[in-house]
Amino acid sequence: MSIAIIAPSRDVTVLRDHLRAALPEVSVDIYPEIATPQDVRMAVLWNQPPHSLEQFPKLGLMQSLGAGVDHILSDEYLRANIPVTRVVDPQLNIGMCRYVTMAVLNFHKNLYQHLRAQQARKWTGQALVETPVRVGILGMGVLGRAVAESLLQLEFEVHGFSNRPKEIPGVQSYSAEKNELGAFLAHSNCLVCLLPLTPQTRGILNLDLFRKMPAGAFLINVGRGAHLVEADLLRALEEGELAGACLDVLEKEPLPPEHPFWTHPGIVLTPHIASVTDQQTAAQQMAENYRRLLRGGKLINEVDRKRGY
Ligand code: NDP
Ligand code: OXD
């Protein structure tokens, strides 16, 4: 029996070594060097090439290398009855809390204007002290909730939007079930997208949504690039609906060299590094899922394939 890691764009040797250490009796290989495809029971996946899973007749579990599973579920050659699990890890929460806090504080403290003033050797004095911030978090799952709690520690006002209603101390909660997106947006001038990418959330960050927020709002997208309609962001920045955006995820990664986002003065880009799976800690939960798969136990962090997250 064996495990295949298919993550062509990532260096996963640390993960392989920790899986081998946790499961010494199991062979763990990195795609495309899979020694015995007919023995593979679990595949650890990040953007697997089309058809790559077809070579594993005994595949029993698809484990995401990250928190998101859209890259697995979008594979048109996926078999229907194989469970999908994902990473939920305190390390991932910490990385995301730090990234979003950094981006919220940059907006709050007007850092981008101060950097531009510095480049122009302009001392703005106390003309630009703080922008009042009301954070709205789209997606109040594992990461959204952790981010909300860390922003509350800094005394920010926090609003949260999810599919189903939530009760989270200190957070004003709104839900899709109660049709409260409009009210949520009206109360938020710093929008953090921490949604999973599903057919319902694709393109959700569009002009119509930006217009429901107070003018001059700020966007932080750490969900997926395809949540954002890129042309609508450019228009919203031009029209002043949005004051700026911090984007960690892009529709096409790596972002093509000719893309207008590279040089837009209102956009800050990072290359999908908001929070990166810790391969050492994640290997432990993957190894446990492998053991559970073999003995028929309940899997850890299984996603609902119908819901898509
Ligand atoms: P969860 O599955 O724990 O949470 C998802 C949240 O989104 C839930 O609160 C859910 O609502 C809500 N939601 C889903 N669909 C809708 C909808 N149509 N309308 C309103 N709310 C909706 O995911 P995580 O918090 O673990 O991760 C979220 C995403 O963050 C990942 O899918 C991934 O795309 C991204 N990510 C990005 C990283 C980066 O480095 N940039 C790193 C890690 C993750 P409910 O609770 O009611 O079900
Ligand atoms: C994830 C990610 O889903 O890195 O974990 O985006």
Residue indicated by tokens 């700020």: 218
Q: Say what the pTM is.
A: 0.98
Task: Please report which confidence band the pLDDT of residue 62 belongs to, taking 50, 70 and 90 as the band edges.
Answer: very high
Residue indicated by tokens 């630009």: 128
283 in ligand 1 pocket by Cβ < 6 Å?
A: no
Q: Are 305 and 40 in contact (CB under 8 A)?
A: no
The ligand 2 atom nearest the CA atom of 277: 5
Sign for the CA dihedral angle at 271, 275, 279, 280 comes to positive
Average pLDDT over residues 168-172: 98
Per-residue model confidence (pLDDT) at position 5:
98
Closest ligand by atom to 47 CA: 2
86 in ligand 1 pocket by Cβ < 6 Å?
A: no
68 in ligand 2 pocket by Cβ < 6 Å?
A: yes
Kindly give the distance from the C-alpha atom of residue 78 to the centroid of ligand 1, in angstroms, as a whole number. Answer: 22
The residue type found at 198 is T
Rounded Cα gap, residues 243 and 258, in angstroms: 23
Average pLDDT over residues 89-101: 98
Nearest protein CA to atom 2 of ligand 2, as residue: 66
- Phi, psi for 101 (deg, rounded to 5): -60, -45
In DSSP terms, 172 is beta-bridged to 159
Task: Please report which confidence band the pLDDT of residue 10 belongs to, taking 50, 70 and 90 as the band edges.
Answer: very high
Per-residue model confidence (pLDDT) at position 205:
99
CA distances 112 to 4, 64, 73, 186, Å, are 44, 35, 37, 24
Kindly give the distance from the C-alpha atom of residue 48 to the centroid of ligand 2, in angstroms, as a whole number. Answer: 14
Identified catalytic residue from 16, 145, 227, 272: 272
Rounded Cα gap, residues 139 and 108, in angstroms: 21
Average pLDDT over residues 138-165: 98
The ligand 2 atom nearest the CA atom of 66: 5
pLDDT tens, position by position, 192-223? 999 999 999 999 999 999 999 999 999 999 99
Distance of CA 136 to the CA centre of its chain: 16
Cis status, amide bond into 265, omega within 30 of 0:
no
Q: Are 19 and 28 in contact (CB under 8 A)?
A: yes
Q: Is 224 a catalytic residue?
A: yes
- Which of 96, 179, 194 maximizes ligand 1 atoms within 8 Å of its Cβ, making it the mutation to test the pocket? 194
Kindly give the distance from the C-alpha atom of residue 279 to the centroid of ligand 2, in angstroms, as a whole number. Answer: 12
Identified catalytic residue from 16, 18, 86, 224: 224
Cis status, amide bond into 32, omega within 30 of 0:
yes
Rounded Cα gap, residues 190 and 107, in angstroms: 8
Kindly give the distance from the C-alpha atom of residue 167 to the centroid of ligand 1, in angstroms, as a whole number. Answer: 17
pLDDT tens, position by position, 221-242? 999 999 999 999 999 999 999 9
Kindly give the distance from the C-alpha atom of residue 259 to the centroid of ligand 1, in angstroms, as a whole number. Answer: 27
The ligand 2 atom nearest the CA atom of 276: 4
